[in-house]
Structure 1
Amino acid sequence: MQPRNMSMSGVVDLAAVKAAQEARSKAEQARAEQARHGGGGAVSPDALVIEVDEAGFERDVLQRSAEVPVVIDFWAEWCEPCKQLSPLLDRLAREYSGRFVLAKIDVDANQMLMQQFGVQGIPAVFAVVAGQALPLFQGAAPEAQIRATLDQLVQVAEERFGLTGIAVDPDAAVGDEAPAEQAGPYDALLDAAQQALDADDLPGAVQAYKNVLADDPANPEAKLGLAQAELMQRVRGLDAQTVRQEAAEKPADAGAQIAAADLDLVGGHVEDALSRLIDTVRATAGEERDRVRLHLLELFEVLGADNPAVTTARRALARALF
């Protein structure tokens, strides 16, 4: 099953002034109610991923969407692509830390909801913002595309409806109890990668991180380490003056701007690097534009999702793309 076009150009149709005002009012009331009951409205990371059925749909999705965007994952136990997509959405819901809530709906047990949303095949992902539903995509799409769609959803929810998400308690344990800290199965490989970096053996470090990711594609330490090692490899041997002169002469050249952005980042000029690539996204089209966008996502990996510059750049990228 191929993913459909993930453009959210139709989202602006949801931004009726009356709906936006009602959404803001409901969100403020919900936050005030949470504050009165203690905890300042902060929730456990567990609350960011919920199972929803027909009986609880109004409460768990419609009412909640007045406070935070609700992303709906229509799935079924027999659906193989769902088994790839659902864990990814679960991880992203926690990574976005309250900027949206993920509602999981089993289509076999909730046929009426499936029909109401016009679901033709699964996995299918929708969003509900201020009580208004919109389709996001169908099929197991690549993570980079999903992130871009979620970024735009969050941006629209904030700018058009005033929905800034919900507070998450970082100290709350996920699940019934916090797992005991123990040595990971890839510690030896990760140590080898670090030793290669210390020895300035960048190819060795890259390969060590890839060895971890071959067995555990979501390993955060290996993903970050690989992104950083590959960045260092790319800038090694570059002549900074030549790269920057070419970038100045060719503002719409993807390769020139990517090389300059890498140098910016290695030199500690984070905002300059990200802004350069976002400007290049605006100035390019087609394959060149996609090349720049994907490279920008790689730099996000280098910096880490919790970096404030990444948060700002994701929003700017969403505006540039859509």
Structure 2
Amino acid sequence: MAQTHGAVDLSQFASNNSENPREGQHVDPAGSDDFANAGVPMSATEGSEVVPGPFICDASEDTFDQVAETSLKVPVIIDLWAPWCGPCKQLGPILEELAREYHGRFQLVKINVDESPQLAQAFQAQSIPMVVALIGGRPAPLFQGAQPKAQIKPLIDQVLQIAAQAGLTGKMAGEADARQADPRTEEEKAVEALMEAGKLEEALEQAQKLLRNSPEEAARYQALVDKVSMAQRLHAEEGQDDSDPLVLADKFFQAGNEPQAFDLLLSLIAKSADEERDEYRQRLLELFRLSRNPDAVKLARQRLSRLLF
């Protein structure tokens, strides 16, 4: 029997969708027949409106009705995850950060597959994390596996463009969700604005100044310094081959494969002389501070302690 939840007949996931993407593979939603022939109800095309609800919310089988209804006015990005899933913990904060940055132009809905197995089955979630777009009640899988922010943002932009063409130009009001509050200080926002403008040297100077002048926030601003430094390195490393192991470690990290970056640096530390070992150790500690994968950091720190002591 088809499992239905409100405005969405979940049986369509099994019959009308294209095949689920393999892990790391993206789907261009513009090529989805489901989106091209969405058949959005007239009520969803009557102009922009502010839709009550948070930018980020959790949903289950009992509350999916509301998610489906929201998708008739505002595009929804669904994150299928589980507490035991390491890549899920890496991807989740990135999606939440994007939801805050887009300020309600889409709603991020997080579904714990352990608590909602019927939804996981309906979305054909063969592996997690899995991210799906829902526009006008019609789904399209976007990608599986942890992906870097730089690769996710263009997909969301495509989803928003398709939603606008279908007349879904609403915006979430954003109330009653502590996670939507931007955790950055005004100083951090200023530094990141310089980064986005390509003014990396000026951004580094400002970040280092914040670190010097705010010892009580040393961890926060050291992470900011590291972030700008890495952006400078990645810019300088563009076009370089992978013969330099530090360049390769950066590329692994930037691509979202943090454990492989950590493994590479740990192997270098294990077989290097003192001076080189310290250089690799400092780079590893920097990546620890930037990491969004606490489980991988914990394991790598344990290995580092065994190597050094």
Matches within 5 A, 1:105-254: 105-159=111-165, 161-166=166-171, 168=173, 175=178, 205=205, 208=208
Q: Where does residue 77 of structure 2 map in the other structure?
A: 71
Q: What is the Cα deviation at residue 56 of structure 1?
A: 1.1
Pairwise CA distance, 1:4: 1.5
Q: Pick one of 26, 33, 41 that aligns with 1:5.
A: 26
Amino acid at match of 2:36: A
Residue 55 of structure 1 deviates from its aligned partner by 1.0
Report the Cα offset of residue 157 of structure 1: 0.6
Unaligned runs of 5+ in 2: 1-21, 195-200, 213-218, 240-309
Structure 1: distance between partners of 2:222 and 2:79: 20
Contact 1:206/1:226 (8 A) holds in 2? no
Q: Is the 8 A contact 1:14 1:132 kept in 2?
A: yes
- Equivalent pairs counted in the alignment come to 202
Q: TM-score, normalised by structure 2?
A: 0.52
Q: Matches of 1:219 and 1:77 in 2, distance apart?
A: 25
Equivalent position of 1:15 in the other structure: 36
Q: Which has the higher contact order (CA 8 A, sep 6+)?
A: 2
| 8 A contact 1:69–1:100 mirrored in 2 | yes
- Name which of 56, 69, 72 aligns with 2:63: 56
Following the alignment from structure 1 to structure 2, what is the Cα–Cα distance between the partners of residues 166 and 13? 22
- Specify which structure has the higher proportion of helix: 1
Shift of the alpha carbon at 1:154? 0.5
Q: Which residue of 2 aligns with 1:26?
A: 44
Residues 1:131 and 1:216: Cα distance change in structure 2 (over 3 Å): same
SS of 2:147's equivalent in the other structure is: coil
In the TM superposition, what is the alpha-carbon distance from 1:121 to its structure 2 partner? 0.4
Name 1:101's counterpart in structure 2.
107
Q: Residues 204 and 103 of structure 1: is their aligned pair in 2 closer, same or farther, counting only changes over 3 Å?
A: closer
Q: Following the alignment from structure 1 to structure 2, what is the Cα–Cα distance between the partners of residues 65 and 28?
A: 14
Is the Cα–Cα contact under 8 Å of residues 136 and 149 in structure 1 kept in the other structure? yes
Tell me if the contact between 2:100 and 2:182 (Cα under 8 Å) persists in the aligned partners. no
Cα offset for 1:10? Answer: 2.8
How much has 1:156 moved relative to structure 2? 0.7
RMSD: 4.8
How far apart are the structure 2 equivalents of 1:218 and 1:173? 31
| Cα distance change of structure 1 residues 217 and 203 upon mapping to structure 2, 3 Å threshold | closer
Matched position secondary structure for 1:103: strand
In structure 1, C-alpha distance between the alignment counterparts of 2:180 and 2:159, rounded to whole Å: 32
Structure 1: segments with no counterpart, 5+ residues = 32-40, 194-200, 235-254, 256-322
